[in-house]
Structure 1
Amino acid sequence: MIFFKTVLAFLLLLILARLLGKKQMSQMTFFHYVTGITIGSIAADIVITDNGSIIDEVIGLVLWCTLTALLSYGTLKSAKLRLLVDGQPTILIRNGVLQKKSLKSARLSIEELSMMLRERNIFSIQEVDYVILEPNGRLSVLRKQSNLNLTRADMDIPTSNPKYLPLQIIVDGKIIYKNLKSIGLSIEWLEKELEAQKINNISKVFYAEIQSDGSLYIAPC
């Protein structure tokens, strides 16, 4: 019996996945992600159910996929419905400036944003002009034009290793002491850098980051 149910669930998933299309399989948004999990859960119930009948589970699976397909079709026809179901992109950095309200609405911390940028081989926020959080939770990044020019290697110019690995020094007005200590810099150095940029109170700094050349990038509150 379990062999029959497994084969049936497999064939149903294969057929329904083809009907739903590549958009569902790619799990483009949170809605598609949840739908994919639900479909898998119902298919698992078909295999493990032991009440002797799997009609209810099969009907539930087909109905769920039908509703998903209808909703996907509706989002193609209605911009408002598409916005309701899929959401819209959120600009986290605009013209090189961190957007605090956008980070808050996306429930994303500076640390999480930095991690996601490092996954894109971007180790400093100062390297980018725009960062957009897409509805599927991934980042789209537009680098600054100065970072798209020819590299030193392209022009056969001697290069040197960076002085520092870009690190967070201040987040939400609070000093990250362990990062400051790890690169051998003191509080006095930080205070001088802030004074040089006419900032006399750390609480006025939303985000500060040490650059690879030793300079300090500051995003004020």
Structure 2
Amino acid sequence: MHYDILLRTILAFFVLLILTRILGKKQLSHLTFFNYITGITFGNIAAELASEKDIKILEGLISLVVWTGLTIIVEFISLKSGRIRRIFNGEPTIIIKKGKIQQQAMSKMRLNLESLLTMLRNCNVFSLTDVDYAIMETDGHLSVLKKPDKQTVIKRDLNIKGGRSILPTEIIVEGKIVKKNLLELNISYQWVYQQIRKAGFNSVNEILYAELENDGRLFIDKYENKTN
């Protein structure tokens, strides 16, 4: 009985190795959501072939080969037709355009502001004011293009000695003041209200996002569907 499991495991291993080589590097890199789902299903079939005694070896092999064949066919058709490729793979979505958050795109992607800020930090971007464009790729990763004046510059090129960096901090997120950040920065509510009034806003509820910059300025991004 143990020999049967051993045989199944060895067979599943080599079949999986061969078929993944046939599928190619694109499948392994999970470039699209379709690739990701295909990879998971492919692995599940191989795992069941190796461990489930109720599944005949021939049936498992047929499932793997058929799944591989269907994946190759879909990829081939996608290469020939841009419309079909968009159906299976989706399209990149612009989340930030010319420094402005695209709220409709975020709603469509079911992406909240906190998640966007986390993804930006993963791209070594700690301030929205640095971003010219941010694009959600088909694999779920965020690509960021910084503004020309925010491109990376080596301090040595400018003869600047290393100094203390101040991290840009969220002050208002989705119409609500972040209290703990005010306490950490020793900033009063009165100062925040003064700044938003100077910017032409009557209420915090009109502001989608505001952050304190390194130079003490308050960057403000308003809601698209709300007027002053």
- Rounded to whole Å, the distance in 2 between the matches of 1:70 and 1:158 is 57
Residues 139-178 of structure 1 aligned to structure 2 (within 5 Å): 139-148=142-151, 150-158=153-161, 160-162=163-165, 164-178=166-180
Q: How big is each residue's C-alpha offset from its partner over 1:19-53, in whole Å with a ceiling of 9 and x where there is no partner?
A: 11111010111111111010100000111121372
Task: Identify unmatched segments of 5+ residues in structure 1.
Answer: none
Cα deviations across residues 30-81 of structure 1 (Å, max 9, x unaligned)? 1111110101000001111213722211111111111011001110001110
Equivalent residue pairs, number:
220
Paired letter, 2:172: I
Is the CA contact 2:48–2:55 (under 8 Å) kept in the aligned structure 1?
A: no
Q: 2:163 & 2:43 partners in 1: Cα distance?
A: 52
What TM-score results when the alignment is normalised by the length of structure 1?
Answer: 0.95
Query: Aligned-pair distance for 1:158?
Result: 4.4
User: What SS does the corresponding residue of 1:111 show, helix, strand or coil?
Assistant: helix
Q: Residues 52 and 27 of structure 1: is their aligned pair in 2 closer, same or farther, counting only changes over 3 Å?
A: closer
Query: Which residue pairs with 2:107 in the alignment?
Result: 104
Unaligned runs of 5+ in 2: 224-228
Give 1:13's aligned residue. 16
* Preserved contact between residue 174 and residue 207 of structure 2 (Cα < 8 Å): yes
Matches within 5 A, 1:39-54: 39-51=42-54, 53-54=56-57
Provide the aligned C-alpha RMSD in A. Answer: 1.4
Residue identity matched to 1:197: A
TM-score, with length taken from structure 2: 0.92
Letter matched to residue 196 of structure 2: L
- SS of structure 2 residue aligned to 1:170: strand
Q: Which moved more, 1:180-189 or 1:75-84?
A: 180-189
Q: Is the 8 A contact 2:210 2:220 kept in 1?
A: yes
Partner of 2:219: 217
Question: Cα distance 1:208–1:39, how it changes in 2: closer, same or farther (>3 A)?
Answer: same
